[in-house]
Each structure stands twice: as C-alpha cells, then as structure tokens.
Chain A
C-alpha cells in the first residue's frame, strides 16, 4: 500500500521534472517569461490521448505529442519574438486561455468538460507498462533522457548563444546571432518536452479533462524553476523532488482532499513569494529575471 503511494509520487516527480526542465529552457536559459507552458502540456496530453484512443501505438502518440506541441511552440514564437518581459508573459498567458477554451468547447474532438476517459496504458514493442512500477521505470528513463538532451543542448554553442541572448540581446545580435530564430528554437524545444510530459501524464492518469490544464497548474512548475534557481538543472531536480513531496504530509494529518487541493496551492504560492523576497536566486540560480 505504502509502496504504491511512493511509486505514484515518484512518477509525479518524473513528470514534473520534465515540465520544469523544459520551462528552464525558456525562462531560465533564454530569459523569456513563458506563462504558456501549461498550454503545451495540454496540447501534448490531448494529442497523445486522441491518437491512442483512435488506435495508434504508444510510441507514435508519444512522439507526435511532442512534435505537435513543438509546432505550436514554434508558431506562437513567430508573432511574439519581438515582445519582451511582461508583454511576452501576457501573450503566452493568453495562449494558455485560448487552448483551455478550445479543449472546453471543441466538444466533437475533446468531449469538452466530460473529458477523455479510458486512455490506454503504454505498450512498447509488446511490453506493457500497465502496472505502476513499470510505468515508473518508463517515466524515469524518459525523464533521464530528457535531462541529458536538455543538458546537451544548453551546454552546446547554441545553448551558450541562448544565454548570451538572455543577458544582452543587442550584443548577441551585434555578434551576428539571429536572436529571433534562437528564441523560436528555444520555445519550440521547451514546448516539445512539455508535450511529451503531457503524453506521459495522460497515459498515466488514463483520463484527462480541461480542468487539469488551468493556470493554477502553472504555479508548482514556476515555483520549481524559481526555487531551483534560473538556468540551473541541478537546482531544478532538487526543487522538483522537494516541492512535489512538500505538501504530502497534509495527507497523513488526515485532511480531506477538498482541503488538500487549495492547501497545496497556498503552500506553493507562499513559498514562491518568500523566495522572491528573501532568496531571489533560489538554490543554485545564476541570475534573476530582467
């Protein structure tokens, strides 16, 4: 019993880790305050779920979830590439709401508020990941691969150029870097990983509805990124583990779930505020958002 509970928590940590790492690519490494991350997560989750329900194998759904989200990331980056700071935040936020409204209202595709039940558990090359332990292994492998790929990207010359864009866009342009293009790529990469996290989520929970993809869901991820420290992958891993586990003791004190939900959000919001006021760089952050 307690084992199953821990496996569930570890799977959540894995999914949150992919989401937070991918948000680091835009917010931390490129300095773009992207509040649309949940939208990419939603796109991935819905794309994967819809494909799986029409009979496609898991791997195709999984990859397509990432690619589809990436496409949206790239598309949204084209008109917003000149926006800065709070304006970009508002534009990406608006995107979150547009996607939410679509999932809620395009009922012939998404079944609206009824949600999509019965999403199959993953089967890869005949190996079924229907029990939670095997799903944990799958999540762990995907999270690890995501971590390695993101680490590789950000330590490549391209990654360094992203950081240069963040620190001084004008200087980067003067040195001949096409910063608009780089920001587009950063957003697309970030969206790809958010999309595959969405795919994992939908195949794990086996049910999705629009309420899983509201603005509220952004707060834990944003909290992880800022507490871990901007542009720090190590900090992100540490912060993910701490923040996913932190509200769990509430469960053992015996609060009903109607209390635990809001209490979790309150804890995250308070931590975020305190961090911003007293330790703005988080655990291992190199700088603050400009």
Chain B
C-alpha cells in the first residue's frame, strides 16, 4: 500500500513540473503553430540566473526569483524576434522547428561555456525531513511544488477563459486570419504567448532547481517531457497539456515498478511514439488541418 501511495505522490510531483513546462510550451504552440524546442533552454537559463543571483552574488532569494522569471520572459521575447524574422519570409513550421533547435543548442552551450559542466545546487532549502503520510514520504518543498503548480495552472486557465488577452490568444490559435480581420494583431499575440509561456517556464525552472541539481542540459530533458505531455493531452490545448503531463508522470513512475529506473526517460519517449502513431492529435486534441 505505502509503495503505491509513494509512487502516486512521486507521480504527482513529476506531473506538476511537467504540466508547468507543457502548458507554457502548449500556449506557444497553440498560437504560433510550431514546435518551440528552445523552451527547454528558457528553463535552463532561468535556473542558472537564479543560481547566479542567489548563490554566487548573494542577492535576496525572493528578489532573485523575480529577476529569474523576468529574464526567462525576456529570453522568450528575444527568441520570438528571431522567429519573427523567419516568419517574415514565410518560412514553414519545419524551418522554425530547426531554428528553435539551433536556439536550444546555442543557449545550452553558452551556459556550459559560462558555468562549466559540473552540477550546481541552489542550496536555499536545507535538506528537510519528509513528512509521513500513510507510510509515504513527502518533503515540504514537494508540497510547495504541487500547490504552486496547481495554483498557476488554475490562473492560466482563468486567464485564457476570462481575460481579453486570453480570448485573443484563443482566437489567433483558432483562426489567425479571422482574428486579424477583427483587429487582433497576431504578431502582438505571438509576443505575449512567448512572454507568458516563458515566465511559466521560469517558474518551473525555479521549482526544479530547488528540488534537483542544475546542469547545462537540464532543459532538454524537461522540454521533452513537457512536449510529450502536451502531445499526449492534445497539442495546442492547454488543459490537454496539463492532463497529458500528469498522465506521463504516472506512467513513468509506475513504469519503473517493472523496469529498471534508468529506463524512466525511455518510457516517456515510447509513450510519445505510441501517441504520435495512433492518436497524434492527443486525448483532447482535435484533428489538425493537414496544411498546418
């Protein structure tokens, strides 16, 4: 019983983090219609900014966190300028994908160059003793991760449903041309998707960096989990991304019941392959236009 409960808690923690990554990625995908790999680089970037400001310079923690999120947004905004140049010459979404891959490698290599390959720790939270719930162990930080993630995802959901900007984003995602006819600037919406999506990535980065060590390639792995979650749930649908991420968290953590834990990452990719093959539109997704 306690093993099942422990796996359940582990799944929730993993799912909460994947959901943050996936929702930001999905927000960008839904409006801009291409796979933004470099989302992973934004995560690594924010984590290292936090490390630099808090652990190296010694700034106040809260202030460092805010700056790290702001820098993540700024990086997302900057990346959109690069993509914008490509969009101006009507590049296909595959070209944008290659560009985002190049951006990912670029940022990760810059981090590697500046900070080195060895792992870093933030060291804000002293190793805390876990609480025991029916024999399963959860640390206070992990509770914070789950709660923060749920609150953020709820806020994002309300933002998309209730605010003018959120509605405009959904309009562009649904039909860009019609949205433009009614006076929504799609370029502006693209920029805002990147700013908001990257800020969420920044928050995910902070939660991850408190729980785990930092390494330059940390973003790639999280990114893959994030987009696997997004594809399982239905790419381009933010609620779908959240659902898919939790499902991924569960299948990974329960999968290693049967497989050696080293195969945890492989499970995600196999789930991804299965979905791409049999239900590429995901659980909640609607079949995509062939041309898109």
Contacts and interface: CB of A to CB of B under 8 A. Distances in A.
Interface string B20-63: 00000000000000110000000000000000000000000000
A116 B154 CA distance: 49
B183 interface: no
Nearest to B265: A101
Interface in A227-266: 258-259, 261-263, 265-266
A277 B85 contact: yes
Interface in B221-238: 224, 227-228, 231
B241 to A, nearest CB: 14
Nearest to B259: A105
Nearest to B221: A97
A273 B277 contact: no
B86 A266 contact: no
A86 B35 contact: yes
Interface in B111-128: 112-113, 116-117
User: Which of B85, B101, B116, B227 counts the most A-chain CB atoms under 10 A from its CB?
Assistant: B101
B24 to A, nearest CB: 17
A216 B112 CA distance: 13
- Chain B's interface: helix, strand, loop or mixed, by majority? helix
B273 A95 contact: yes
User: Which of B220, B228, B276 counts the most A-chain CB atoms under 10 A from its CB?
Assistant: B276
User: Which of B34, B103, B113, B228 counts the most A-chain CB atoms under 10 A from its CB?
Assistant: B113
A87 B278 CA distance: 12
Interface string B98-118: 110111011011101100110
A268 B109 CA distance: 11
A26 B35 CA distance: 20
A277 B109 contact: no
Contact of B277 (A91, A104, A215, A263): A91
Contact of A262 (B99, B109, B224, B228): B109
B181 interface: no
A91 B263 CA distance: 18
B106 A290 contact: no
Contact of A265 (B92, B98, B105): B105
Contacts of A270: 102, 106
B170 to A, nearest CB: 21
Nearest to B107: A269
Interface string A112-140: 00000000000000000000000000000
B159 interface: no
Contacts of B35: 86, 89-90
Interface stretch (A11-19, A77-85, A153-161): A77-85
Contact of A258 (B92, B105, B117): B117
Contacts of A288: 91-92, 95
Nearest to B88: A277
Nearest to B278: A79
A90 B92 contact: no
A33 B97 contact: yes
Contacts of A57: none
What is the size category of the interface that chain B forms with chain A?
35 or more
Interface in A44-100: 79-80, 83-87, 89-91, 93-95, 97-98
A275 to B, nearest CB: 9
B270 interface: yes
Given A91-B276, A219-B102, A273-B102, A97 B95 contact: no
A277 B102 contact: no
Interface string B72-106: 00000000001001100101111101110111011
A222 B227 contact: no
Contact of B98 (A101, A222, A290): A222
A129 B59 CA distance: 59
Contact of A263 (B101, B113, B231): B113
Contacts of A219: 101-102, 105
A104 B231 contact: no
B116 A258 contact: yes
A272 B105 CA distance: 11
Contacts of A33: 94, 97-98
Given A216-B105, A273-B82, A90 B277 contact: no
Nearest to B227: A90
A149 interface: no
Contact of B95 (A87, A102, A105, A280): A280
B93 to A, nearest CB: 6
B109 A269 contact: yes
B94 A289 contact: yes
B113 to A, nearest CB: 4
16 contacts: A35-B101, A79-B277, A83-B280, A89-B94, A94-B224, A94-B276, A97-B266, A101-B266, A102-B266, A215-B220, A219-B102, A262-B109, A262-B113, A276-B86, A280-B89, A280-B95
- 4 closest A-B pairs by beta carbon, nearest first, are A101-B266, A105-B262, A269-B106, A265-B109
